[in-house]
Amino acid sequence: MSNPSLLILPGDGIGPEVMAEVRKVITWFGDARGLKFDVEEDLVGGAAYDAHGTPLHDDTMAKAQAADAVLLGAVGGPKYDALDFSVKPERGLLRLRKEMDLFANLRPAQCFDALADFSSLKRDVVTGLDIMIVRELTSGVYFGEPRGIFPDNEGGRVGINTQRYTTEEIRRVARAAFELARKRNNKLCSMEKANVMESGILWREEVQWVHDNEYSDVELSHMYADNGAMQLVRWPKQFDVIVTDNLFGDVLSDCAAMLTGSLGMLPSASLGAPMANGRPKAMYEPVHGSAPDITGQGKANPIACILSFAMALRYSFDEGEAATLLETAVQKVLAGGARTADLLGPQGGTAISTTEMGDAIVAALAASQ
Ligand code: NAD
């Protein structure tokens, strides 16, 4: 049997720097645990534009469609700011998400004990925090028609966006969230505004339908999204998995992410429908961008990208044990006091480089054997 395939797209700015550290981790799993991948690397974003005049070549798109999982670094940078919108680096990323139909965006908010003081909330509110927000990514108000800015009848203008969800769009993201809940603590909270929006009423009814007909073993609750925002900062540990629409998910996932401190720590996954081999279409990427202000200085924190690979192990390759091993190695390195510059905080201290952080994580993996 051939190895599972992984397409790596390092992208721009710090993307290649953090991805180089992920490559070390991938090599370690192959050598030490026999967990091998057929890895191919290609260009995306500004790097692809420089080489091909497009932020995503058709051949790369075809490779992404065929891969068991895609791992992306970051795209963009000031060099490309003046480009036409149609060839901007971000278009490469959007094309991948759209053509792979990655409708479920998973954003974990996990607080590493060693970094609990980085959160803007009190230590006891965030210590041990481990929740997952599932955001619908391909529909809702960001895509609904009609949309636009039009003249109104009083000589002014009117701006219109349309919130629109179909039964199937809601059911498929709900299923993804229920599946996740089953792999975690079996609890799902669905958030919408059913009190003021018809699309919210449909959302609530369809999530309930999926629960009653397919996932009645999972504990389901419903919450209005505004209350959800409040509860996330009041007592986030009450949640396990949260599922919500594109707009509310955009806001709530950023809010939850900040519970944990630094942008350099945040992984994400975007999942689509199952492929013929049963694995979901999937792309994994750190939440952060290309960080042009620190590019090429060895200051980038590779942990967000490394934890994105851990998500790939868990959600694409069913290697939950390997994922936990990697997450524990990260935890141990942080507990030992290793910090890239973004993790130093007001007390200061000595920062280690991107490469040193990657090496420390690989050493912690080796020590766990
Ligand atoms: P950014 O996430 O690149 O950086 C924001 C701040 O966080 C910067 O000060 C940066 O140095 C710091 N930072 C980010 N990642 C870090 C890491 N791993 N380690 C240490 N520090 C880190 O956001 P930005 O500055 O608004 O955008 C820069 C470029 O990235 C823009 O071109 C933007 O369009 C693009 N971008 C891309 C993505 C993506 O590829 N998914 C996401 C966001 C922004």
Torsion of CA 268, 15, 254, 125, to 10 degrees: 80
Phi-psi region of 269 (alpha: psi -120 to 50; beta: other; left: phi over 0): beta
Q: Is 142 a catalytic residue?
A: yes
Counting from 1 in the atom list of ligand 1, the atom nearest the Cα of 302 is 18
Element (H, E) at 90: helix 89-99
Question: So what's the pLDDT on residue 31?
Answer: 97
301-336 per-position pLDDT tens digit: 999 999 999 999 999 999 999 999 999 999 999 999
Question: So what's the pLDDT on residue 170?
Answer: 98
Is-above-0.75 flag for pTM? yes
Residue with CA nearest ligand 1 atom 43: 289
Element (H, E) at 241: strand 241-244
The single-letter DSSP state of residue 123 is H
Counting from 1 in the atom list of ligand 1, the atom nearest the Cα of 11 is 40
Question: So what's the pLDDT on residue 5?
Answer: 97
Question: So what's the pLDDT on residue 233?
Answer: 93
Question: So what's the pLDDT on residue 263?
Answer: 84
Q: What would you report as the CA-atom Rg of the chain, rounded to the nearest whole angstrom? A: 21
* 115 neighbors 222 (Cβ within 8 angstroms): no
Q: Is 226 a catalytic residue?
A: yes
Ligand 1 within 6 A of CB of 191: no
Alpha carbon distance 363, 355 (integer Å): 12
Ligand 1 within 6 A of CB of 169: no
Give the other-Cβ count within 10 Å of 220's Cβ: 20
Per cent of the chain over pLDDT 90 is: 88
25-80 per-position pLDDT tens digit: 999 999 999 999 999 999 999 999 999 999 999 999 999 999 999 999 999 999 99
Q: Is 250 a catalytic residue?
A: yes
Alpha carbon distance 100, 115 (integer Å): 35
The model's confidence at residue 196, banded by pLDDT at 50, 70 and 90, is very high
Is residue 271 pLDDT above 90, yes or no?
yes
